[in-house]
A and B are shown apart, each in its own frame.
Chain A
């Protein structure tokens, strides 16, 4: 898909999250969260530690079943998927939403190339007639294998890993594993890519390379990206749209510029300013008093 086409389609939401809530026992990890990610955009989800960013990811990609709410994915063809009702593997297979993990999950004993071939499992499975035709040596499977290796090669080149294709994935340095995980997710042929802290643990040069990779993914394939990130140089540099979470609630939503200057975001990230400390203490005391009073009544 060319860049022109993606631009014409911007503004149309690809992922719509409505009134999403996730409760773990007594903890409300996400509380009535609604946001949209638009097609062709790089949307960033930021927030302090424990704000519920990864929980949102897990709800979108089916690893958690949300307590309440609706997650709608709209494909290019106009087909809609209600992600909160689908098992995790179908979200990748049918709804075309791929993801990576905060702590890299590599198939470390398989080679880099094999990692990318595993990602094309469903395509190869159909081509091999669910193993049976492939086992009998039909030509269709051989062609599909060659094609899958071509796809893998394309993404290896993008991720700058072509020279290490035959090494075990566990042997790669950390930054390369991050890139490989993104390449592997792209090999599933997604329309929407969810990246959980892709720049974590990368040095500045690797961060720059990552920015390049993400930009080219959007440019060349038209894949929309949702990313969680702490590294502000990455967020501010490449995202079109930033959503800020705190304590499971959205506190800001807009372009990087808008978000950067939002006082609530500044307060959430830097804490409150000195003059306000007294106010905050007063507020807390008030809350404690009312609670204590309630406790007495009971």
Chain B
């Protein structure tokens, strides 16, 4: 906004006057923006006629929020931020000792996750815990795992992959089809799904090896769509858009089953009341273990020559070749490793849903996973986990916000706005932290002391 560039003098002196004026302009802009988006709504009535609804009240709320937000922002938030900045600059000279929380963040987070299901059961009862364990816990952890898997390809090797969801689909359908046709158990098919996805990762890798940057992104995008369209159209095998239902449940290594009729049913064995919550809690620990495996392997791989070669590839491919690194196999292993974790997550997805259809593997999923990686800070496991929690947990949280209906009327469904808020959150984070939540990079080896590498030195990769 042009008015923000005015200095205090030219704006007429007082801060309040400037805040008022900027608030007014913000309201004006909001009015212009939302006049057609919000103010007018077209619906069909019973006779199939198009009716124009006028929603001036809702429009007024939007404009008022924008104007008041700008007013308060200029009057209070901006001076406060400026004051904090100067205070921070004064503190920055001294060495601030890391707090206990900052030092042990990942350990504490893992501990909290391990303790989450029992705590949820204790607080909300067996049935009440379902929402927290399944909708929040499992949902978020699936995305954490997917984003960590994609992080190997995008964050470490710097290869922009827009079709990651294809490997997720390969894993899911591998489990769904092989368990139905051959009756293999989850624990056999989990590694198999990973191997199959890795194999498809290689198949994708070969044609795109020569491509870089935008061209690579387009081809991976197309690959994701090809897999989805094959799933839709190969109806004899995949049952097309109907999807595959009745996928067998996983068991606790064959010892206890979660099938209702089975003799070794978990609830029966332990003489607990029947509930689906036990199965979800079991699945929660499975996906937690899988996600932690992904993180562990990523951390170990980064200290291996292959992991360093991936990061070197991201920084400068020609220099890599001049040092005798075979960039073809290096890229292929990155694709295959990333795809393998996508396959693991996919087979877990199939076992959790009990139903897979091509609708779960649309491009939007790839975009969300990529957005999580970028928001978290490419290459940073902690940042990505935080981003997944904020993004996926945030959209789940929208369903809980029934109080918004009191403000916007009973027809208001907050989850319909989730993409709007998702986009807004991305813009805000990218303005606030252009390198994602954790922009710095941990070196994999050191001589004297471990110093984080600032994000301004690392590159995003060119393909």
Pairs A-B, 4 closest by C-beta atoms: A109-B458, A92-B324, A93-B324, A107-B315
Contact in complex: B316, A105 (CB < 8 Å): yes
Q: Which residue of chain B has the shortest Cβ distance to A88 in the bound complex?
A: B321
CA distance A79 to B441 in the complex (A): 42
List 19 A-B pairs, Cβ < 8 Å.
A98-B323, A105-B319, A106-B319, A109-B458, A110-B315, A110-B443, A111-B451, A111-B453, A113-B443, A113-B445, A117-B305, A117-B445, A118-B320, A121-B308, A122-B324, A122-B325, A125-B306, A131-B301, A134-B304
> When each residue 89-125 of chain A gets 1 if its CB lies under 8 Å from chain B and 0 otherwise, what string results?
1111100001111000111111101100111111011
- Could you say which of A118, A165, A168 contacts B325, with CB atoms under 8 Å apart? A118
Contact in complex: B308, A118 (CB < 8 Å): yes
> When each residue 439-458 of chain B gets 1 if its CB lies under 8 Å from chain A and 0 otherwise, what string results?
00101111111110110011
8 A Cβ contacts from B306-333 to A? 306, 308-309, 311-312, 314-316, 318-327, 333
CA distance A220 to B448 in the complex (A): 26
Contact in complex: A109, B305 (CB < 8 Å): no
Contact in complex: A89, B321 (CB < 8 Å): yes
Question: In this complex, which of B309, B323, B447 has the most chain A Cβ atoms within 10 angstroms of its Cβ?
Answer: B323
8 A Cβ contacts from A125-168 to B? 125, 128, 131, 134-135, 145, 149, 153, 156, 162, 165-168
B300 on the interface (CB 8 Å rule)? Answer: yes
Contact in complex: B446, A119 (CB < 8 Å): no
Q: Which residue of chain B has the shortest Cβ distance to A96 in the bound complex?
A: B324
8 A Cβ contacts from B256-305 to A? 297, 300-301, 304-305
CB distance from A20 to the nearest CB of B (A): 20
A108-B446 contact in complex given A89-B321, A89-B325, A101-B322, C-beta closer than 8 Å: no
- Chain A residues with CB under 8 Å of chain B are 61, 63, 88-93, 98-101, 105-111, 113-114, 117-122, 124-125, 128, 131, 134-135, 145, 149, 153, 156, 162, 165-171, 184-185, 188
Q: Other CB < 8 Å A-B pairs besides A63-B321, A113-B447, A166-B450, 10 of them?
A: A63-B318, A89-B326, A92-B322, A107-B315, A114-B443, A124-B305, A131-B304, A166-B448, A166-B449, A168-B454
CA distance A139 to B77 in the complex (A): 56
B459 on the interface (CB 8 Å rule)? Answer: yes
Q: Which residue of chain B has the shortest Cβ distance to A108 in the bound complex?
A: B457
Q: Which residue of chain A has the shortest Cβ distance to B446 in the bound complex?
A: A166
Q: State the interface size on chain B (CB cutoff 8 A).
A: 39
CB distance from B299 to the nearest CB of A (A): 11
**B residues less than 8 Å from A145 (CB atoms):** 445
CA distance A167 to B448 in the complex (A): 10
CA distance A106 to B458 in the complex (A): 11
- Could you say which of B304, B333, B457 contacts A109, with CB atoms under 8 Å apart? B457
**A residues less than 8 Å from B441 (CB atoms):** 109
CA distance A247 to B75 in the complex (A): 69
Contact in complex: B305, A166 (CB < 8 Å): no
- Could you say which of A88, A119, A135, A184 contacts B301, with CB atoms under 8 Å apart? A135
Contact in complex: A109, B459 (CB < 8 Å): yes
Contact in complex: A108, B459 (CB < 8 Å): yes
A166-B304 contact in complex given A105-B319, A118-B312, C-beta closer than 8 Å: no
Contact in complex: B445, A114 (CB < 8 Å): yes
Contact in complex: A92, B323 (CB < 8 Å): yes
A167-B451 contact in complex given A107-B315, A109-B315, A111-B443, C-beta closer than 8 Å: yes
CB distance from B345 to the nearest CB of A (A): 20
**A residues less than 8 Å from B318 (CB atoms):** 63, 101, 105
CB distance from B248 to the nearest CB of A (A): 31
CA distance A102 to B323 in the complex (A): 15
- Could you say which of B316, B323, B447 contacts A188, with CB atoms under 8 Å apart? B323
CB distance from A211 to the nearest CB of B (A): 23
**A residues less than 8 Å from B458 (CB atoms):** 108-109
CB distance from A138 to the nearest CB of B (A): 12
CA distance A167 to B446 in the complex (A): 9
Contact in complex: A165, B312 (CB < 8 Å): no
CB distance from B156 to the nearest CB of A (A): 11
Contact in complex: B305, A131 (CB < 8 Å): yes
Contact in complex: A108, B315 (CB < 8 Å): yes
CA distance A121 to B316 in the complex (A): 15
CA distance A118 to B312 in the complex (A): 7
Contact in complex: B305, A110 (CB < 8 Å): no
**B residues less than 8 Å from A109 (CB atoms):** 311, 314-315, 441, 453, 457-459
CB distance from B117 to the nearest CB of A (A): 30
